[in-house]
Amino acid sequence: MFEHRDVALLAVTAVEAPVVMPSQRFDEQLASTLKRLRLPKGLLRRVAGVTERRWWDDGTTFDDAATQAAAKALAESGVDPGEVGLLINTSVTRTHLEPSVASRIHDGLGLPSSALNFDITNACLGFVNGLTLAAQLIDAGQIRYAVIVDGEDPRPTQEATIRRLSHEDSTRDDFLREFATLTLGAGAAAAVLGPASLHPGAHRVLGGVSRAATQHHTLCVGGPDGMSTDPQGLLDGGLELVVDAWNEAEPRWNWNAADRFITHQVSTVHTTSIVDALGLDRRLVPTTYPRWGNVGPASLPMTLAAEADSLSAGDRVVCMGVGSGLNTAMTEIVW
């Protein structure tokens, strides 16, 4: 478990990709495959709960969008870019192995040369990890302000997956193994953290818990051309991991009394399973995956940004992330 002494969330923002890609469109593109494999249409809607997702238009890259989200967060926070001491990019999406995605965003924001900048990649948990690391550096007095950012673009991977599944040699097992790839969506998010003592009334980041179950590191393996998953194994292993972490943290944090639970957005099955296993009030667990899909590490901060206007001062918000590997982390923010 970890605690933060003097850290506040000053802004959290989201950028929604403009191109709507309905799940029905994927059904149409895969119609011959579904017929050949005797699979029904509408699985993405009925099983995953994903009605649509977003793609970027041809003129926008994922790191353009991440830069836009970060600039928006800085403007809302009132923090001058010259005061930023740390930029962490947590995007899973990348077009090359080096340099870091963070270096392009750092340049795009016009941050000072004194600002540390690097990528953290930890599947869908990256953004929560970035928040925790930045908060620790603020508490240590090493930096004053930090920007955590994420941009995702699954379009090339989804197009490659559809081409592969459309081939006459594709099997039912292939389809089920790559099904999760079709639930992904594009989007971007950013957050600005700073010392709570300098920003009275800002949203306090208190701390939380993290746990790992890395014996499950083979259950979800992704790359530029596609993602292979064991859906039932991920559900079982992830649920056990989340419950273990929750039970460890509950005596210290009393999260059963929290006002909102912002979870990583995967599917109806995953959300319902977590709600039931932890005994949460379903009304306090917002979902954005039906219209955005699973936007990877950006899912949680995008959902938090969407909920911000409905939160009141003093509300306790528990952010709950899970990433393939498997890893989980939960952190509390007092609004």
pLDDT of residue 34: 97
Which pLDDT value is given to residue 156? 95
Instruction: Look at residues 309, 308, 328 and name the one whose alpha carbon lies nearest to residue 216.
Output: 328
Q: Of 324, 293, 297, whose CA–CA distance to 213 is shortest?
A: 324
Q: What value does the mean pLDDT take over residues 7-11?
A: 98
∠ Cα 328 329 334 (to 5°): 150
Work out the angle at residue 96's Cα, subtended by the Cα atoms of residues 94 and 97, and round it to the nearest 5 degrees: 100
pLDDT of residue 308: 97
Confidence tier at 226 by pLDDT (50, 70, 90): confident
Over residues 264-268, mean pLDDT = 95
pLDDT at 225: 84
Dump pLDDT digits (tens) for 273-317: 999 999 999 999 999 999 999 999 999 999 999 999 999 999 999
pLDDT at 196: 98
Active-site entry in 3, 52, 83, 98: 98
Domain boundaries, the chain: 203-334
Peptide bond between residue 326 and the one before it cis (omega within 30 degrees of 0)? yes
Q: Annotated catalytic, 124?
A: yes
Q: What is the mean pLDDT of residues 157-180?
A: 96
Answer for the pair 118, 148: CB distance below 8 angstroms, yes or no: no
Q: Round to whole Å and give the CA distance between 177 and 180.
A: 7
Ordered alpha helix ranges (H), 204-282: 231-253, 268-278
Q: Please, which residues have CB within 8 angstroms of residue 312's CB and are 6 or more apart in sequence?
A: 335
Q: Is the pLDDT of residue 224 over 90?
A: no
Read off φ and ψ for residue 279, nearest 5 degrees.
70, 35
User: How does pLDDT run across 63-107, given as a tens digit for each residue?
Assistant: 999 999 999 999 999 999 999 999 999 999 999 999 999 999 999
Per-residue pLDDT averaged across 165-181, rounded?
A: 95
Total residues belonging to the chain = 335
Tell me the pLDDT tens digit for each residue of 40-69.
999 999 999 999 999 999 999 999 999 999
Residue of 16, 52, 124, 152 marked catalytic: 124
Contact 155, 163 (CB under 8 A): no
Strands 7-16 and 226-229 come out as unpaired
The predicted-structure confidence for 96-152, as pLDDT tens digits, reads as follows 999 999 999 999 999 999 999 999 999 999 999 999 999 999 999 999 999 999 999
Query: Per-residue pLDDT tens for 313-325?
Result: 999 999 998 999 9
Q: What is the pLDDT of residue 145?
A: 98
- Provide the mean pLDDT of the chain: 96
Which CATH fold would you assign to the domain 203-334?
Peroxisomal Thiolase; Chain A, domain 1 (3.40.47)
Q: Is 98 a catalytic residue?
A: yes
> Residue 55 forms beta bridges with which residues?
19
Is this prediction's pTM over 0.85?
yes
Mean pLDDT value across residues 258-269: 96
Cβ neighbours of residue 323 closer than 8 Å, sequence gap 6 or more: 122, 123, 124, 125, 126, 264, 297
